[in-house]
Amino acid sequence: MAPAPDPSRRGAGDTTGRTVVFRDVRPFGAARPVDLTVVDGLISDRAAPPGAEVVDGGGRIALPTLVDAHIHPDKTTWGGPWESRRAAHSLEEFAAQDAELFRRQHRSVAERAYGLMAHAVSRGTRAMRAHADVAPAYGPAGVEGLAQARERLRHALDVQIVAFPQHGVVRAPGTARLLTDAARSGAVDLIGGIDPAGFDGAPEAQLDLVFDLADRYGVGLDLHLHERGAQGLTSLRRILDRTRALALHGRVTVSHVFCLAGLSDAELAAVAADLRELDVALTTVAPSGSLVLPIAALTGHGVRVGLGSDGVRDSWSPFGDADMLHRAHQLGRVRDDRLDAELTACYLTGAHGGADVLGLPRADLSPGSPADFLLVHGECVPQIVVDLPARDLVVRGGRVVARDGALV
């Protein structure tokens, strides 16, 4: 599995010996309310001792908090003035605009990222995999800024940091050294990559480098793959071959993977068999009906699939809000989901699918699971996915970390 966040960053000891009862809540929209007892940060099936702290749930629905499996907080302008964007038609043009926007910012990466990540917590996110651009245009600023934001939110949010070569590995001289420094120093949890053939133009060189770093320094890999059709499938095969050769089972994720959309059932099954064998995880940001991953088919074959926000109000797009309930809603919209089971599956992809990708235990409200949940007014899970109600309480390890849309 991918490296889970370091427990020392979570303030895990804060819940030791503490019992809290969340009274009158409806797990997953159950018809009859129950009391959820939390002991040492975990859901318990034991009776609460006299004098335990009590939080009134008021009949609200309790749902697992969500996991953002793919987000770029370092790029965001969240909380700042409006940025007018210019047309861009290629990865090169978008990457150049990233650098221009970075130079114009008066706020540091740490400040901007913290604002967005805190907002995500207030909307019910418990963990995220955060990609930080690593290129000569930025130096280590992105990685360092995300690390500072992560530290400020350690009580409420697990964060895995990816050193992401947005400008390419080979086409941007100096990037390889920055990636090596990030992996060697322990500053990041994973090393990234981007379209080794279609963008970098050097698939063997890029993949040899990043896989060598993962093998040498014990970090994971999370590789952007936007390439489509035969080119994308060839790049994916190169990734799978290196994963097998270096025995990096469970430590590799491929994000976007547009080349899998539109495959026949037989073609998808063949690829999924290798993904399952090597325990390679996938993520999607549900960009459109034609590019979203076939999640149900992939998970049916035993492949881990998570959902993410991608960029939020950055040079690529004015849209996004790091609200994973909104992203689950978008997943349902682009797939034209209508049935209750389909809409519920959207939520669970954002909750359990993301946890699986990040190597975290599922917060499924069962005894022994992390007491990480949110409370909302609603009828049932499908209605919540469609209507997007306010998150009244967000709970992390049995502690209320956000109330009525704000951190506490």
* Residue pair 41/74 in contact by the 8 Å Cβ criterion: no
Residue with tokens 């959309």: 261
Percentage of the chain lying above the pLDDT 90 cut: 90
Amino acid symbol at 170: V
User: Is residue 1 pLDDT above 60, yes or no?
Assistant: no
Cβ contacts of residue 249 below 8 Å, gap of 6+? 243, 278, 279
pLDDT tens-digit profile of 329-366?
A: 999 999 999 999 999 999 999 999 999 999 999 999 99
User: What is the per-residue pLDDT for 20?
Assistant: 97
User: What is the per-residue pLDDT for 49?
Assistant: 86
User: Is residue 281 pLDDT above 60, yes or no?
Assistant: yes
Cβ contacts of residue 108 below 8 Å, gap of 6+? 141, 145
Cβ contacts of residue 54 below 8 Å, gap of 6+? 20, 21, 23
Q: Could you give the CA distance from residue 184 to residue 253 in angstroms, rounded to a whole number? A: 20
Average pLDDT over residues 244-254: 98
CA distances from 329 to 183, 337, 375, 381, 389 (A): 35, 10, 17, 11, 11
User: What is the per-residue pLDDT for 376?
Assistant: 98
CA-based max dimension of the chain:
66
Cβ contacts of residue 225 below 8 Å, gap of 6+? 195, 232, 235, 236, 239, 254, 255, 256, 257, 258, 259
User: Is residue 84 pLDDT above 50, yes or no?
Assistant: yes
* Listed range (44-53, 146-155, 202-211, 285-294) with the worst mean pLDDT: 44-53
User: Is residue 2 pLDDT above 80, yes or no?
Assistant: no
**Secondary structure string (H, E, C) spanning the chain:** CCCCCCHHHCCHHHHCCCEEEEEEEEECCCCCCEEEEEECCEEECCCCCCCCEEEECCCCEEEECEEEEEECHHHCCCCCCCCCCCCCCCHHHHHHHHHHHHHHCCCCHHHHHHHHHHHHHHCCEEEEEEEEECECCCECHHHHHHHHHHHHCCCCCEEEEEEECCCCCCCCCCHHHHHHHHHHHCCCCEEEEECCCCCCCCHHHHHHHHHHHHHHHCCEEEEEECCCHHHHHHHHHHHHHHHHHCCCCCCEEEEECHHHCCCCHHHHHHHHHHHHHHCCEEEECCCCCCCCCCHHHHHHCCCCEEECCECCCCCCCCCCCCCHHHHHHHHHHHHCCCCHHHHHHHHHHHHHHHHHHHCCCCCCCCCCCECCEEEECCCCHHHHHHHCCCCCEEEECCEEEEECCEEC
Q: Could you give the CA distance from residue 209 to residue 207 in angstroms, rounded to a whole number? A: 5
Q: Could you give the CA distance from residue 179 to residue 167 in angstroms, rounded to a whole number? A: 12
Percentage of the chain lying above the pLDDT 70 cut: 96
In this prediction the pTM is 0.95
Assign 12 a pLDDT band (cuts: 50, 70, 90).
very low
Assign 17 a pLDDT band (cuts: 50, 70, 90).
confident
User: Is residue 42 pLDDT above 90, yes or no?
Assistant: yes
pLDDT tens-digit profile of 111-154?
A: 999 999 999 999 999 999 999 999 999 999 999 999 999 999 99
Q: Could you give the CA distance from residue 192 to residue 134 in angstroms, rounded to a whole number? A: 9
